[in-house]
Amino acid sequence: MTETPLMPSANEAGSFKMFRAMVGIGIACALAIVATYQLTLPVITANKAEALEKAIFNVLPGAATRVNYRWNGRRFEKISPDIHGRDVIYVGLDKDNQLIGIAVEAGGQGFQDAIQLLYGFDPYKQHIVGFQVLESRETPGLGDKIDKDAAFKANFNALDARLNDESTRLAHPIVTVKHGAKTHPWEVDAITGATISSKAVGVILNNSVQYWAPLIHQHLDELKE
């Protein structure tokens, strides 16, 4: 290496010089960060909205637009499409603005780490119409089949989530059964070699549907308007 030590003696500086350098660089850095943030923010927001929309339309076949609603404890209120989270549901409308289904985010513990997924729910027939993994770190080649295995995904084309007579909870909780043992429409047929991940999906869906399905059933009119 041909490094030439250029460190000048002026570097042994007093506190004013230190202060000046730190503050100067601090201000320059702050400007750079804020400028980038402001420039990229609209693009990022648009990208995120697009990605979410794609996922929603994927789990709600036939949907053309979506409206976000938040459960405030008493009723569903319409909110800006930029807000999302655990207490938000996405109502999918078809071309004639008719409610065709509701997409809900749900999450829980998988085999490796938390799984985040989005599922579509049909409030008329009271069944799940599809789901998509938003985020997971399941073992590649085994656990991550929950998002790829066609036979497994077929479980969710019309997964029974009917409410009981009092409309307080599901008539039959959603359960994952061993591969090939599915006999009822509310059962999920697990993937061989990825039983724990499959079970996790069942549990996550069950928890979420048990909570949302009665609410949606009771307040369906608020969502339809």
Partner 1 sequence: MQQKSPGKLQQFFHFPEGDGLATDEFIKGLWRENPVLVQVLGMCPTLAVTNSATNAIAMGLATLFVLVMSNVLVSSLRKVIPKQVRIATYILIIATFVTVADYVIQAISLEVHKALGAFIALIVVNCIILGRAEAFASKNTVWKSLMDGLGMGIGFTFALLLLGTVREILGNGTLFGFPFFPDSFQEWVIMILPGGGFFTLAFWLLFFNGMKARKKDNHTEVHPEKESVEEVYV
Partner 2 sequence: MKTGNLWFIFINASLINNFVLAYFLGICPFLGVSGKLSTASRMGMAVTFVMLISSMAAYGIHAFLLWVDAPFLQLISYIVVIASTVQLVEMFIKKFSPTLFKALGIFLPLITTNCAILGLALFQTNKGYNFLESFVFALGAGLGFTLALVLMAGLREKLDFAEVPAIAKGTALTLLVAGILSLTFMGFAGLGG
Least distance from C-beta 42 to partner 1, angstroms?
9
47 binds, among partner 1, partner 2, none (CB under 5 to 8 A by kind): partner 1
- Count of residues touching partner 1 (by CB under 8 A): 36
Minimum distance, C-beta of residue 37 to partner 2, in the bound complex (Å): 4
How many residues are present in the chain? Answer: 225
Determine which residue in the list 139, 153, 160, 210 makes contact with partner 2, applying CB under 8 A: 139
Residue 196 site contact among partner 1, partner 2, none (CB < 5 to 8 Å, cut-off depends on kind):
partner 2
Q: With binding defined as CB under 8 A, does residue 7 bind partner 1? A: yes
CA distances from 30 to 18, 20, 37 (A): 18, 15, 11
Asked if residue 116 binds partner 2 (CB under 8 A), the reply is no
d(CA 193, CA 198): 9
Give yes or no for a contact between 148 and 160, defined as CB atoms under 8 angstroms apart.
Answer: no
Tell me if 75 contacts partner 1 by CB under 8 A: no
Please name the residues in contact with 152: beta carbons below 8 A apart, sequence gap of 6 or more. 145, 146, 188, 189, 190, 191, 198
Helix H or strand E segment including 177: strand 175-177
Tokens of 225: 């308007």
Window contacting partner 2 (CB under 8 A); options: 33-41, 43-51, 92-100, 179-187: 33-41
**Judged by CB under 8 A, which stretch of 8-16, 96-104, 123-131, 151-159 contacts partner 1?**
8-16
| Residue nearer to partner 2 on the CB measure, 60 or 146 | 146
Closest CA to 129 of 183, 184, 76, 56: 56
Tokens of 43: 């693009």
> What part of residues 176-215 is at the interface with partner 1 (CB under 8 A)?
none
Which residues touch 199 (CB under 8 Å, ≥6 apart)?
Answer: 176, 190
* Residues near partner 2, by CB under 8 A: 29, 33-34, 36-37, 109-114, 137, 139, 196, 200
